[in-house]
């Protein structure tokens, strides 16, 4: 399994990029710089730069704090996920629903699982996708109006491909403790970050997964899922619609606060 990785970067964070490049084992040629203060333009060019001879691609944002051996560890992890999902090495603490996230994380910790299956993509710090979807994804996302590039990718995955998201557990990436460039506010912290000096190669990726569902029931799965269909289907699509944030212009770009226990 091979993973191609690029970094999307903004000049305001240029001082952070050399260390990130070094930690990931990349080169300056793997950094895609913002050229007109446009998130989608930068993210799009990063995905265009992904080597599509690799099975998977990952775009990492410039405020990422990766663990050790992130790319090698992700390549091992990707051998244990279905071929028709997105993968996120980050699980956030604030969205899409704090109560749901806290519950499924607790279930994953109790089960000592290696993955959490979610109906849709919720975080963009390090999006991982099968390279075969890139050519269809980019033109579809071009005509969307969401300012966040990760939201466009997430909507393409669930609306067009009915593609859920598997998150690594523990998180292999965190956010640096710096302000968001787009006003997301404080508190962008990963659930169960493995640690910047811990190796992703030491995670037991054979430990199976738990699934976040519409209710509090969470199912357990084990084994190699790489050749099986995606876990959600039509029911999962409806769950994802409930979890998705609204389109820009209806309620604004910030994620609405959901009452505890709401769907």
* Residue appearing with tokens 């109560």: 99
pTM of the model: 0.80
**Cα dist from 18 to 10, 28, 82, 113, 234, whole Å:** 13, 8, 33, 33, 43
Is 255 in contact with 96 (CB distance < 8 Å)?
A: yes
- Residue 148 pLDDT level (bands cut at 50, 70, 90): confident
Task: Give 34-80 pLDDT, tens digit per residue.
Answer: 999 999 999 999 999 999 999 999 999 999 999 999 999 999 999 99
pLDDT at 256 over 50: no
- Rounded to an integer, what distance in angstroms lies between the CA atom of residue 92 and that of residue 75? 22
Task: Give 69-79 pLDDT, tens digit per residue.
Answer: 999 999 999 99
Is 129 in contact with 6 (CB distance < 8 Å)?
A: no
Angle ∠(153,168,210) on CA atoms, nearest 5: 100
Length of the chain equals 263
- Rounded to an integer, what distance in angstroms lies between the CA atom of residue 14 and that of residue 48? 21
- Rounded to an integer, what distance in angstroms lies between the CA atom of residue 98 and that of residue 72? 30
Question: Average pLDDT for residues 204-220, to the nearest whole number?
Answer: 75
- Residue 30 pLDDT level (bands cut at 50, 70, 90): very high
- Count other C-beta atoms under 10 Å from residue 91's C-beta: 24
pLDDT at 185 over 60: no
pLDDT at 228 over 50: no
pLDDT at 149 over 50: yes
Q: What pLDDT, on the 0 to 100 scale, is given for residue 215? A: 53
Question: Average pLDDT for residues 209-230, to the nearest whole number?
Answer: 55
What are phi and psi for residue 150, nearest 5 degrees?
A: -70, -30
- Residue 188 pLDDT level (bands cut at 50, 70, 90): low
Question: Average pLDDT for residues 200-207, to the nearest whole number?
Answer: 97
């Amino acid at each position: 399994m091979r993973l191609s990785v690029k970094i999307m970067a903004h000049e305001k964070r240029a001082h952070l990029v050399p260390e990130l490049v070094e930690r990931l084992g990349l080169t300056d040629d793997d950094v895609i710089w913002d050229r007109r203060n446009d998130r989608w333009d930068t993210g799009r060019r990063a995905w265009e730069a992904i080597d599509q001879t690799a099975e998977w691609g990952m775009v990492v944002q410039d405020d990422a704090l990766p663990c050790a051996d992130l790319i090698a560890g992700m390549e091992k992890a990707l051998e244990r996920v279905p071929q028709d999902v997105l993968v996120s090495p980050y699980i956030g603490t604030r969205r899409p629903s704090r109560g749901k996230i806290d519950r499924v994380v607790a279930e994953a910790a109790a089960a000592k699982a290696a993955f959490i299956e979610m109906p849709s993509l919720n975080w963009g710090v390090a999006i991982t996708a099968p390279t075969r979807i890139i050519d269809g994804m980019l033109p579809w996302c071009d005509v969307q109006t969401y300012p966040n590039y990760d939201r466009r990718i997430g909507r393409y995955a669930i609306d067009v491909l009915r593609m859920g998201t598997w998150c690594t557990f523990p998180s292999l990436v965190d956010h640096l403790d710096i302000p968001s460039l787009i006003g997301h506010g404080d508190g962008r912290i990963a659930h169960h970050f493995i640690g910047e000096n811990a190796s992703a190669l030491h995670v037991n990726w054979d430990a199976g997964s738990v699934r976040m569902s519409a209710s509090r029931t969470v199912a357990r799965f084990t084994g190699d899922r790489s050749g099986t269909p995606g876990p959600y289907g039509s029911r999962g699509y409806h769950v994802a619609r409930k979890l998705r944030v609204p389109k820009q212009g209806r309620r604004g770009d910030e994620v609405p606060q959901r009452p505890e226990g709401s769907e």
